[in-house]
Amino acid sequence: MDRLKASDFPPEVLRLFDGFVHGTKTRREFLDGAAKFAVGGFTAAAMLEALQPNFAWAQQVKKDDPRIKTENLDYDSPQGHGKMRGLFAKPANATGKLPGVFVVHENRGLNPYIEDVVRRLAVLNFVAFAPDSLFPVGGYPGDEDKGRDLFAKQDTKKRIEDLVTGVGVLKARPECSGKVGAVGFCFGGGIVNLLAVRLPDLAAGSAYYGVQPAASDVPKIKAALMIHNASDDQRINDGWPPYEEALKANKVRYEYFSYPNTQHGFHNDTTPRFDETAAKLSWQRTVDFFNKHLR
């Protein structure tokens, strides 16, 4: 089968899938709902299979790319789950200290797509670090559904502390200049917003379709923010107007972009929800934003 696009699926099926991957719909509810739109051999089960990721599509920078060096970093997280691990990448020929970018995955752990994002940043002359929130339960399991199940059972407060601590790990690296930004997708986008609230020394945050913090927390934000939202993503977009109002009221530096005809997850190049135009444009904006605020 050729690579499918979001436009190949009925909008209601995409909404059902968004509910499934974010835990508000069960697999059975997805299948029952999608069955109404089945045509020929494109059954509900076939739709679900087609919407699952193909990680080969995401590999822009190979694991053994000679331009970069990568390693797994372990760190203590006493306020979180105790022990954590993440992927660290830096340019192979790095000289002097470089700005750091903290990368936060979606709601299923450090999968190959996010690992590739880390490597992409190292190629662009950043040091980058992405913890795996599932490390305390054995790490990303190689199966998205299992990853989501493990993620949903975690202690949310401990997981947040694991990630907050991880920013400090990156900042303290000898290769890092001490200027750190954060980029995250889906769950990770929400964490970028949260890190901006929690960490007054975070220099910049680029949040992709993430949930917004409470308006009462916005006065704590010192970082410059860049927000990327999909046009067809009501769950996230409903929270934007009050967030923007609070950002303006507190004179927080921010840029906001909504990408037309896109779905939640449009940057993730492993699924049909990927939108190449929006992904490339948003990523270039993110890179330019980090070069401006971190160098």
Note whether residue 17 is domain-resident: yes
pLDDT higher than threshold 70 for residue 1: no
pLDDT-derived band at 3, boundaries 50, 70, 90: confident
Q: What is the arithmetic mean of pLDDT over 107-132?
A: 98
- Provide the residue range defining the domain that includes 148: 60-294
Residue 122 lies in a domain: yes
Torsion over CA: 163, 293, 176, 60 (sign):
positive
| Pair (30, 88) in one structural domain | no
The DSSP result for 203-219, as a single string, is -EEEEES-PPPPGGGGG
- Backbone φ and ψ for 207, nearest 5 degrees, come out as -110, 120
Do 142 and 105 share a domain, yes or no? yes
| Summary mean pLDDT of the chain | 96
Residue 45 belongs to a domain = yes
Residue 287 domain flag:
yes
Q: How many domains does the chain have?
A: 2
Per-residue pLDDT reduced to its tens digit, 234-287: 999 999 999 999 999 999 999 999 999 999 999 999 999 999 999 999 999 999
pLDDT tens profile 73-106: 999 999 999 999 999 999 999 889 999 999 999 9
pLDDT, position 224: 98
Q: Are 47 and 64 part of one and the same domain?
A: no
Identify whether 170 is part of a domain.
Answer: yes
Q: Per-residue confidence at 58, pLDDT binned at 50, 70, 90?
A: confident
216-229: pLDDT as tens digits: 999 999 999 999 99
Q: Is 13 found in the same domain as 111?
A: no
The CA distance from 111 to 104, in Å, is 11
CA distances from 106 to 9, 90, 279 (A): 22, 22, 16
Amino acid identity, residue 102? F
Amino acid identity at 21: V
Report yes or no on 219 lying in a domain.
Answer: yes
Q: Verify that 248 and 147 share a domain, yes or no.
A: yes
Do residues 136 and 83 make contact, with C-beta atoms less than 8 angstroms apart?
Answer: yes
Whether residue 37 is found in the same domain as residue 139: no
Do 76 and 38 lie in a common domain? no
Check whether residue 214 and residue 251 sit in a common domain. Answer: yes
Q: Where are the beta strands (DSSP E) in 145-279?
A: 176-185, 204-208, 224-232, 254-263
Within-domain flag for 1: no
Q: Which residues of 200-215 are buried (b: 16+ CB within 10 A; e: fewer)?
A: eebbbbbbbbbbbbee
148 in the same domain as 34: no
The answer to whether residues 164 and 115 belong to one domain is yes
**pLDDT at residue 231, rounded to an integer:** 98
Do 112 and 30 fall within a single domain? Answer: no
CATH classification at residue 209: 3.40.50.1820
pLDDT band at 7 (very low <50, low <70, confident <90, very high): very high
Same domain flag for 157 and 225: yes
- Alpha-carbon distance 240 to 251, whole Å? 16
Mean pLDDT lowest for which of 20-29, 130-139, 155-164? 20-29
Q: Can you tell me the distance from the alpha carbon of 73 to that of 90, in angstroms, rounded to the nearest whole number?
A: 13
The burial of 66, by beta-carbon neighbours within 10 Å (0-12 exposed, 13-18 middle, 19 or more buried), is given as exposed
Residue 108 lies in a domain: yes
Structure confidence by residue, pLDDT tens digits, 124-156: 999 999 999 999 999 999 999 999 999 999 999
